């Protein structure tokens, strides 16, 4: 509110004929009645030394957002590094397992028997030691020592391996008794059994028993012929044994195709639990049969 000064205001009054006004709101005088230069809208300007609180709040919020984004980026980076380390460990572990699977066949009987025992305990952790020994474990004495055989365990060398561990096959004469082979080859799949059979010379009479035919048909074929080598899978072999179609009187070697790994790097020893059961059944029923890993 503006008002005129009193004509006799005291020692500070000037009698110069001018009309002075006083602005009560801002506390200073104006001699021309103009609007004051400073006002409420300019109280936070930088020119008069006051602080712009809006800019400070915005700056603080921006700093908080940047700090939060930085923490999130750091957490993502840590998770990514952890994920990469875990993937690397998994890759190295798989590479080690593959190396073991492919090299176990060349080990001595004691090492092979221990390896099979560990597999059995892994599959059946609730079984007692007596139950494991009765159903799955192989005595060291029933594992054929093929550590001397230094060739690569691949199909082109299967013929040589067969003759090295099963002497009757080296002579090329079939067994006289029908359904009583000299060797049984256990493979992880029917396709693999067919591949192994093609690696056996035609001079050695062989027969594949796989799930392509009915099990009753396989039993009839086995009982009406005298193959020196039977190639099969664990499940089909178990069915044949249960029906009594396979005779073990001539059996010398149970060849386990353990070095072959499928696309998922599984072998017949760690993919099919029935393999240990049929191996144990064969060496128990036959007095002279031994297990050889190819």
| Domain boundaries of the chain, sorted by first residue | 1-36, 104-293
Q: Distance (Å, rounded) from C-alpha 225 to C-alpha 145?
A: 30
pLDDT at 109: 94
156-188 as b/e: b if 16+ CB within 10 A: eebbebbbbbbebbeeeebbeeebbbbbbbbbb
Please provide the DSSP assignment of 233-262 as one string. -HHHHHHHHHTT----SS--EEEE--S---
Give me the chain's average pLDDT, please: 81
CA 71 remoteness from chain centre: 31
Given a cut of 70, is residue 8 above it in pLDDT? no
In this prediction, residues 16-39 reach a mean pLDDT of 49
Residue whose pair of structure tokens reads 């073991």 in the numeric block: 100
On whether the 104-293 domain is CATH 3.40.50.40, my answer is no
**Bigger pLDDT: 53 vs 132:** 132
Given a cut of 50, is residue 228 above it in pLDDT? yes
Given a cut of 60, is residue 268 above it in pLDDT? yes
**Percent of the chain scored above 70 by pLDDT?**
77
φ, ψ for residue 292, nearest 5 deg: -125, 130
157 confidence band (pLDDT: 50, 70, 90): very high
260 confidence band (pLDDT: 50, 70, 90): very high
**Bigger pLDDT: 220 vs 4:** 220
Given a cut of 80, is residue 95 above it in pLDDT? no
Q: Distance (Å, rounded) from C-alpha 21 to C-alpha 25?
A: 12
pLDDT at 7: 47
pLDDT at 230: 95
């Amino acid at each position: 509110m503006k008002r005129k000064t009193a004509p006799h205001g005291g020692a500070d009054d000037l009698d110069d004929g001018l009309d002075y006004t006083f602005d009560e709101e801002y506390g200073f005088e104006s001699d021309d009645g103009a609007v004051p230069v400073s006002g409420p809208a300019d109280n936070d300007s930088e020119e008069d030394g006051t602080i712009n609180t809006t800019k400070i709040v915005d700056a603080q919020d921006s700093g908080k957002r940047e700090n939060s984004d930085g923490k999130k980026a750091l957490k993502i980076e840590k998770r990514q590094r952890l994920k990469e380390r875990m993937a690397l460990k998994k890759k190295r572990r798989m590479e080690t397992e593959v190396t073991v699977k492919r090299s176990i066949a060349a080990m001595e009987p004691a090492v092979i028997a221990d390896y099979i025992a560990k597999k059995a305990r892994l599959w059946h952790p609730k079984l007692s030691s007596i139950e494991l020994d009765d159903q799955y474990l192989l005595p060291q004495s029933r594992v054929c020592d093929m550590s001397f055989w230094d060739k690569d365990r691949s199909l082109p060398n299967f013929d040589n391996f067969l003759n090295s561990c099963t002497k009757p096959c080296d002579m090329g004469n079939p067994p006289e008794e029908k359904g009583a082979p000299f060797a049984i080859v256990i493979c992880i799949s029917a396709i693999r059994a067919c591949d192994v059979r093609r690696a056996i010379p035609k001079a050695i009479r062989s027969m594949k028993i796989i799930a392509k035919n009915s099990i009753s048909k396989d039993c009839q074929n086995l009982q009406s012929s005298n193959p020196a080598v039977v190639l099969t899978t664990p499940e089909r072999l178990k069915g044949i044994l249960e029906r009594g179609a396979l005779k073990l009187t001539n059996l010398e070697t149970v060849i386990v195709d353990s070095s072959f790994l499928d696309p998922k790097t599984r072998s017949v020893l760690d993919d099919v639990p029935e393999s240990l059961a049929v191996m144990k059944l064969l060496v128990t029923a036959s007095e002279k049969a031994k297990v050889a890993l190819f």
